[in-house]
């Protein structure tokens, strides 16, 4: 992703419905992982998700390839390092959790990134991954933010399992709004991304819709995003609270 798009993301992430609900998903997933340990947030941008990890008690580090993003995370009081996701500056087996939200789709060598995630994970450690799904939703937005691909469940599972991780769960998100997103993407003729500030009432309405997915059995249907929880299988699992 270009620095300008990362800057736009950082400006929006605290209030935008998309990023707020993704952070809520992350919080819920963390509750099921037991006692916090060391976490690495790959492709962290300004550290919005890294802050969630830290607030949940994890010893969290933000990693991003963009110097401006790393500096923003540091100004927010977070540990942050400049890093390429294909060559993470961490020792093998040194972290208990890796988060990679909207990372794999930006890199041609997604298999290398998945292998790096597996390499730095400690035995029994977890990976939480999010990617855009379904190539039928491809639009100028994907070009603008530097996407290489969108994923199907099968393609995401394949690249993660080939890296040596065991997939626990894959589920769809932003299912209820998919028809609206698909319609918007089909009609889109611009060259920019969809990252923009939304009016207060629109933002509130979209937030209410995606929050409803917490309580509805829609995770097996097609959405706009795929989430995955995977782990590095070990004979001795991480301690549980």
How sure is the predictor about 185, in pLDDT bands with cuts at 50, 70 and 90?
confident
What's the pTM value of the predicted model, to 2 decimals? Answer: 0.89
Map out the domains of the chain with their CATH numbers: 3-231 (3.40.50.150)
State the residue for tokens 């379904």.
134
Angle (deg, nearest 10), helices 153-162 and 110-120: 50
Return the pLDDT at 197: 75
Q: What percentage of the chain reaches a pLDDT higher than 90?
A: 76
pLDDT tens-digit series, residues 57-106: 999 999 999 999 999 999 999 999 999 999 999 999 999 999 999 999 99
**pLDDT tens for each residue of 3-31:** 666 676 677 777 889 999 999 999 999 99
- Strand ranges (DSSP E) for 78-158? 79-82, 95-101, 121-132
> Is residue 174 scored above 90 in pLDDT?
yes
């Amino acid at each position: 992703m270009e620095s300008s798009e990362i800057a736009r993301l950082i400006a929006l992430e605290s209030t935008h419905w998309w990023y707020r609900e993704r952070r809520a998903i992350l919080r819920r997933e963390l509750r099921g992982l037991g006692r916090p340990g060391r976490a690495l947030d790959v492709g962290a941008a300004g550290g919005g998700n890294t802050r969630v990890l830290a607030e949940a008690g994890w010893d969290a580090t933000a990693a991003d390839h963009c110097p401006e993003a790393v500096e923003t995370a540091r100004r927010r009081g977070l540990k942050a390092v400049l890093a390429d996701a294909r060559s993470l500056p961490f020792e093998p087996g040194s972290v208990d959790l890796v988060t990679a939200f909207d990372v794999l789709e930006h890199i041609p060598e997604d298999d290398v990134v998945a292998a790096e995630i597996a390499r730095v994970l400690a035995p029994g450690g977890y990976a939480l991954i999010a990617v855009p799904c379904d190539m039928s939703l491809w639009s100028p937005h994907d070009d603008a933010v530097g996407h290489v691909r969108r994923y199907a469940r099968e393609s995401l599972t394949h690249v993660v399992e080939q890296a040596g991780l065991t997939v626990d769960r894959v589920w769809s998100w932003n299912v209820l709004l998919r028809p609206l997103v698909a319609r918007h993407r089909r009609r889109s003729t611009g060259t920019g991304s969809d990252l923009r500030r939304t009016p207060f009432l629109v933002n509130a309405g979209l937030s209410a819709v995606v929050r409803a997915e917490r309580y509805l059995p829609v995770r097996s249907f097609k959405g706009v995003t795929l989430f995955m929880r995977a782990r590095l299988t070990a004979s001795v699992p991480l301690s549980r609270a």
